[in-house]
């Protein structure tokens, strides 16, 4: 299988699953979910759908359980919408990279703020006298 086929299928699954979750799933536990990426195995048998959601740790656990409940429904909907002999087994995985990226950004801002404070508090240099 070519890499382009897996990439195309990943994009199709992401688009269709997003529509299914937004319009067809009526489980209140799903809430506001954003699909960030889809990884399809080279043999097109397994698809991992990465998502993010708003809320604290308890809300994220509830969203994860709700997504587990609706997985068979989403797969059936994908089977109807995609033209494949066999629809990949799907699993929803919480995307920790977004939280990690936010933490790195926060640390960079702290470092920048500390540097700004250090330059404000530093005594003027005597380089101009030479």
**Is 125 inside any structural domain?**
no
Say how far apart CA 32 and CA 101 lie, in whole Å: 20
Number of domains in the chain: 1
- For residue 129, the model assigns a pLDDT of 52
CB 90 within 8 A of CB 77: no
- For residue 90, the model assigns a pLDDT of 96
- For residue 2, the model assigns a pLDDT of 54
CB 94 within 8 A of CB 52: yes
DSSP state of 129: G
CB 37 within 8 A of CB 14: yes
- For residue 114, the model assigns a pLDDT of 84
Return the SS3 of 37. strand
CB 19 within 8 A of CB 77: no
**Per the confidence metrics, is the pTM higher than 0.85?**
no
Nearest to 64 by CA among 80, 51, 75: 51
For residue 52, what are the domain limits? 3-95
**Is 104 inside any structural domain?**
no
CATH number of domain containing 44: 3.30.300.20
Place of tokens 């699993």: 91
CA 11, 40, 50, 95 torsion: positive or negative?
negative
- For residue 126, the model assigns a pLDDT of 60
**Is 59 inside any structural domain?**
yes
Percent helix, strand, coil in the chain (nearest 5)?
A: 60, 15, 25
Mean pLDDT by 10 residues, the chain (130 residues): 80 94 88 91 94 87 93 94 91 86 83 84 62
**Is 75 inside any structural domain?**
yes
């Amino acid at each position: 299988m070519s890499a382009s086929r897996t990439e195309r299928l990943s994009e199709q699954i992401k688009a269709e699953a997003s529509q299914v979750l937004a319009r067809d799933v009526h489980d209140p536990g799903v809430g506001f979910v954003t699909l960030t990426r889809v990884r399809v195995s080279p043999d097109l048998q397994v698809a991992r759908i990465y998502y993010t959601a708003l809320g604290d740790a308890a809300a994220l656990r509830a969203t994860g359980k709700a997504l587990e409940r609706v997985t068979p429904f989403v797969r059936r909907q994908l089977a109807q919408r995609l033209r494949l002999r066999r629809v990949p087994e799907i699993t929803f995985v919480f995307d920790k990279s977004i939280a990690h990226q936010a933490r790195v950004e926060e640390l960079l801002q702290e470092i920048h703020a500390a540097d700004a404070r250090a330059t404000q508090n530093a005594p003027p240099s005597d380089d101009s006298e030479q």
